[in-house]
Each structure stands twice: as structure tokens, then as C-alpha cells.
Amino acid sequence: MLVFLMRHAEAEPGEPDAARPLTVKGRRQARRAGRGPFAVAAAVAPLVEHSGLVRSVQTAELAMRAASVAPRRLRLLAGLAPEDDPAVTARLLATARRPRLIVGHNPHLASLLALLLGARSGEVVRFRKGAVAALERIASPSRGAPHGRWRLRWFVPPVLV
């Protein structure tokens, strides 16, 4: 089973945090990702899930348009906010049957990636804004690996898009 994780593109500073829109640079990042790694992920995943925060929704929408993916495939997924517990998302992914493409935030995504890859703590990769990672579940959950065993298939930082 594959899961693709994308960090939202660059957003404006300000409050409230949930309403921060993308910057001009962020819009470019999202469109570039949509023509590159996001397009690959969207071709495999049956839908695109996001946190519901404006910057995550805008990133998903812009990348989907650039990848020519139908907007009907966009859906809110609870538990993806920056400070949400990544273990909750990891449990969901441990038993998922279909590929998923998730657009979210740090520190949640970096922690989720580390958790799935079995890292003891900290970041496995520097998950910059606009980056996309592809992970593959290679073993089902077990007592020693409650979220299954995963491997990193690829990681594309925004500078390469």
C-alpha cells in the first residue's frame, strides 16, 4: 500500500493560523508540484486528503488543477493539523487498503514520516514547504510494529520541482 505525503506550500504569516492563504511563491510551489511529484501521486491515489486549514486546501486544489485531477477527489481528513498526534494518522494508515495522498503540515508530517519509518525520534528528512514523499507499507501491523513496516520510496524537496 502506498501513501504520499505533501507539505503545504508557503503561506502568508498572520492570525488566525487556520485562515492563512498561500503566498504568490506558495501558489507557484503548489502548481509546480502538481506538474511533478504530486501528479505521480495523484495518478495512483484515489483521492486527495487535506487538513482543512486554508493553506492545505489551496495547495491541494492548485496542485490538483496543475495535475489535471478532478476536484471531486478532494476530501477533508481530521487529525492533520500541525500539532495533531501523528500516531492517530499512523494507525489509520496501518490498515488502509487503498493508496492515499495527504496534504498537511509540520511538525505533524515530519513526525508521521519518522514514526512510519521506525525512527526513534526527530526528523528523518527535512520536510520543507511543497515537498512530497512516497512511502510503501511492506508489512502489516504486528506487536513489534503497530503501524506496520514502511519504506521510503522517494522524497522530492521543492527545490527539485
Residue 46: is its pLDDT beyond 90? Answer: no
Residue 70: is its pLDDT beyond 80? Answer: no
Cell numbers linked to 47: 483521492
DSSP-derived 3-state class of residue 70: coil
Residue 125 in contact with residue 151, Cβ under 8 Å?
no
Residue 2: is its pLDDT beyond 90? Answer: yes
CA–CA dist 113, 3 (Å, integer): 10
Residue 152 in contact with residue 127, Cβ under 8 Å?
no
Residue 3 in contact with residue 48, Cβ under 8 Å?
no
pTM: 0.94
Domain at 2-160: CATH code: 3.40.50.1240
